[in-house]
A and B are shown apart, each in its own frame.
Chain A
Amino acid sequence: MKTKVKELRNKANLTQQQLADLVYVSSRTIISIEKEQYNPSLMLAYRMAEVFGTTVEDLCCLKENKELEDKQREDL
């Protein structure tokens, strides 16, 4: 799933380890989220959104991802 984690983390001048410590996960989890290999849990998404002062909807590009999913469903 596409997210804005990398973009917002760079804007906030945080390293992957610093963000990981703030949201109680390992830096590998942050790396995987940024590589779009792992979808964060709702609670983790909320914690990250709180760190960046944004909403889960914005952080996880929910509108965009929903449209993409709808398109994939139509193609089935």
Chain B
Amino acid sequence: MKIYDKKKFAFGVMYFLLGLGLLILGFLKGFDAEKIILTILMFLIGISEMYLSTNREAVKQEKFEETEERNQLIKLTSKSRAFDLTQRTNFVLVALFLIIGGQSGDQRFIAMGVAVAISFSVSIFSELFSRIYYERHM
């Protein structure tokens, strides 16, 4: 048996071990419906990932899908749109929390506003630094 995609195989092993851990935990502390479903899912994902990593054709097809030029453009565009949407949502949330906090005087809203503002500023700075990087390297 030859492994064609080591990363995929490692993921498979990780999921399999998680499933095994859940199974042992289940035997020690008892099973409930949620644990049973989770354990079965972990085993299934683990086994299918390990199987696919040893299947030459499946690995080849996956690599092809990953590197195909239109797929790459779709991935970039959708990630960029998602980032834009998240940034705008964060901005609205910051404004909303701060206004509600300011009006009601409830410190919890101000705290939530500050927390989202941190995430918003991280996104702004990461965009700025990425732009500077690609301005120099593209």
Report which A residues bind B (CB closer than 8 A).
24-26, 28-29, 32, 38, 40-41, 44
Contacts and interface: CB of A to CB of B under 8 A. Distances in A.
B69 interface: yes
Interface of B: 64-65, 68-71, 73
Contacts of A40: 69
Contacts, number: 19
6 contacts: A26-B71, A29-B68, A32-B70, A38-B73, A41-B69, A44-B69
B52 to A, nearest CB: 19
- Interface on chain B toward A: helix, strand, loop, or mixed SS? helix
A8 B73 CA distance: 25
A28 B70 CA distance: 9
Nearest to A30: B70
Contacts of B65: 26
For B64, B68, B70, which residue has the most chain A Cβ atoms within 10 angstroms?
Answer: B70
A41 B70 CA distance: 9
Nearest to B70: A29
Contacts of B73: 38
Nearest to A43: B69
Contacts of A28: 70
A38 to B, nearest CB: 6
A53 B136 CA distance: 38
6 A-B pairs with the lowest CB-CB distances in the bound complex, closest first: A29-B70, A41-B69, A26-B68, A38-B70, A25-B68, A32-B70
